[in-house]
Structure 1
Amino acid sequence: MVAHPDDADFGCAGTSAKFSDAGIDVTLLVVTRGEQGGLPTADPSQLPTLREAEQRAASAHLGITDVRFLDGYRDGWVEPTFDLQRDVVRVIRDVRPQRVLAQSPKRSYERIHGSHPDHLAAGEAVVRACYPAAENPFAWPEMIEEGLDPWHVGEIWLMADPDATHAVDTTDVFPRKVAALMEHSSQTGHREDLEKFLREWAGRTATRLGLAEGRLAEAFAVVPVN
């Protein structure tokens, strides 16, 4: 669950591909359609449709066929409102995931790009939705009448978290991460160094978390929901 198209592919494309390869069903939920993200020459009226299409194409490289977008949330204006929490709870109760990957609600001043305000807000809304709202029968009880019974999420994995200690070795699926991000041409089409940038970033992550030399990784803070 992320704020914008391409957020999940930067943060966890390799991990998502490994989950899919292992037979795990993966659902991607995107809060906005990223209408404030584009080159200066972009037509803002076309960006929502374009970026949604880019995300669906990117997800196909990772084995993700269930891609969902929320309605009514503006890129650049995301806040962890009760409306957003309710909409996330509805998806959680529908999908019934054992594990939720989300953006960290903690700001990192070492890498401010990962702490975009929308990312922080989306992460906070997801954490609040996972606990306690999704499993609380008294939170939006009308959902039970819709057939969306309370659901307990087992754990939350936070991307871009300053205290991330869990590494997923993504070396073998790295080409698919690159392919996914190349589908986001409105965001990455101008970057001839995209693969180099991603490889160096993943290499630093792997080294920091103790993987063998030459390995690539994505990092998460794992939060058990007891």
Structure 2
Amino acid sequence: MSPHAPKPAQTPLEPMPDDWTRALAVVAHPDDLEYGCAAAIAAWTDAGREVTYVLATRGEAGIDTLAPDTCGPLREREQRAGAAVVGVDTVEFLDHKDGVVEYGTALRRDIAAAIRRHRPELVITLNHRDTWGGVAWNTPDHVAVGRATLDAAGDAGNRWIFPELTERGLEPWDGVRWVAVAGSAQPTHAVDATAGLERSVRSLLAHRTYIEALTDEDPETYCRTFLTQNAQAAADRFGGKPAVAFEVFGR
């Protein structure tokens, strides 16, 4: 293609489905949802929808200067604070080990159990592919948890895959209608981020200890710049409105 040729038109992003009442967000670490989609979650809770967070780890290996037994409880507190900013009251942790989460039946079972407990119509997770697009390599934890969440959405509805869950009183739930993947390089849908953007900044800023270890930039400036740029990047495909983009898999 000539460097002066116009870029191919991008397919517009569709509005996210809105005929649901309960969502379950399953990610690997504290801050994954705040980096990924908190503005959308704020809009959903504003509309009266119920959103629950489940995290595979406590992020205890995420700060080089803090030992895991100190870091884990601190990051859990920051995650609960960040969730509260966008109207999420229930935050659960599965206690897999940060940095070495393994894709497999144990992880699928834990996520399927959470889906059976909370009975969502919408499940949210983070990018499950090897990269963020191009050569920006993803982390093993994100890949494992994202893929296991996509699989567990089906596992939760099949009583014969993990019969021990039924024995524990967790009846099958086949009501998941969509799995929405935040941070995907191949998005299909989006949510208007206008109303929730300011709260998403405060939600990410709740992870102050982690952010201060990550960057020398002023934490609020860092959070606002990152989230605003991401929301504006999706605007070209969503009628010019700042947006949170998702790749949506129907079920």
Q: Under a length normalisation based on structure 2, what TM-score does the superposition of the two structures give?
A: 0.83
Q: CA deviation at 1:111?
A: 6.4
Partner of 1:99: 122
Partner of 1:81: 104
Query: SS of 2:172's equivalent?
Result: coil
- Among residues 52, 67, 84, which one is paired with 2:91 in the alignment? 67
> Distance in 2 between the 1:145 and 1:80 partners?
24
Partner of 2:242: 216
Residues 107 and 162, structure 1, Cα contact 8 Å, conserved in 2:
no
Query: Which stretch shifts more, 137-146 or 76-85?
Result: 137-146
Partner of 2:181: 158
Describe the shift of the 1:210–1:18 C-alpha distance in structure 2 as closer, same or farther (beyond 3 A).
closer
Q: Which runs of 5+ in 1 are unaligned?
A: none
> Distance in 1 between the 2:122 and 2:79 partners?
21
Partner of 1:173: 196
Aligned pairs, how many?
218
Structure with higher helix content: 1
Partner of 1:138: 160
> Distance in 2 between the 1:197 and 1:143 partners?
40
- 1:88-127 CA distance string (max 9 Å, x none): 11110010000000113222343626x2211011001111
Partner of 1:149: 171
Q: CA deviation at 1:45?
A: 2.8
5 Å-filtered alignment, 1:172-211, equals 172-189=195-212, 190=215, 191-192=217-218, 193-194=221-222, 195-207=224-236, 209-211=237-239
Q: Are 2:70 and 1:41 equivalent residues in the alignment?
A: no
Q: Which runs of 5+ in 2 are unaligned?
A: 1-25
Larger radius of gyration: 2
> Distance in 2 between the 1:196 and 1:111 partners?
22
Query: SS of 1:27's equivalent?
Result: strand
> Distance in 1 between the 2:50 and 2:227 partners?
25
> Distance in 2 between the 1:178 and 1:142 partners?
41
Sequence identity of aligned pairs in percent?
38
